[in-house]
Every structure is written in structure tokens, then in C-alpha cells.
Amino acid sequence: IVNATVPTGSMENTIMPADRIVALRTSYYFGEPERGDVVVFRYPDNEEVLYVKRVIGLPGETVTVRNGKVYINNETEPLYEDYLKEEFFGDYGPYVVPEGSYFMMGDNRNDSLDSRYWENKFVKEDKILGKVVFKYYKGFGLIK
């Protein structure tokens, strides 16, 4: 397992500041990360730092944000994201996700340092340490 504390509000309201989380390293032994998974990974701009974000873009996809809505591969309907903390504004992208990599965003989009802002925009699959499955301490419950 990976046991970590989340220091910021970038994943509110799914994970609150100071919540402790448990991620399973074995989650991806027999499969790959899926859109919507909350994962712990090595931050691409400084691999000594661990980050927790949600998988948004999968390998080979194009991610575009228009008027605060996320679109994959120029679909006409945006992603359904009922986990977002509040209404999100802005236009970003398009980002073409390389094979073997993922595009990550926080659930608190208005206050999240995520793939949109990193120098190295994508997380390589081998840098994902595990899928977050549980939180405890301040908050308590399963992560979905």
C-alpha cells in the first residue's frame, strides 16, 4: 500500500486537506488506470514529490477544456464529473496524451496545480504508485 497525507485542497471535496489516504500498489498489476481513478504518483516536474490527482486523459486521447468543461477527442458532450467541488471556468488545451502516459486534474479545478500547469504535462504509467481506495483521519470513507 501507499499511505500518504494530502496537504492541499486541490482534491476537495473528495479528499480534504490533512486527510490520510491509502492507495493500493497492486491496483494496476492486471489492468491499467481508468478515467476517473484517483491515483498517487510521482510529480513529473520533481519525482521526489508525491501527488494525488484524478486520471482525466488516457494514452492517445486529446483533452480539451472549454468553458470549464472537459472534452475528450472532440466529443460533443463533456465528461460527466459529479465529483467537482464547484463550478469551474477556463479554456485549456488541447493536450494530446502520449502513449504510456496520463493527463491528471484535481477535483478542485479552481485551486489545483495539475497537468494544465506543469512543465512536464503528463504522468508516465510507471510513475503511478497506486489507486486511492480509502481515506481516513479528518475524513473517512471509500474513494470513488
Could you give the residue numbers annotated as active site?
A: 10, 53
Residue 92 burial (10 A CB sphere; 0-12, 13-18, 19+):
middle
For 33, half-sphere exposure in the C-beta direction (CA atoms, 13 angstrom radius) is 33
Q: How many CB atoms lie within 10 A of CB 73?
A: 12
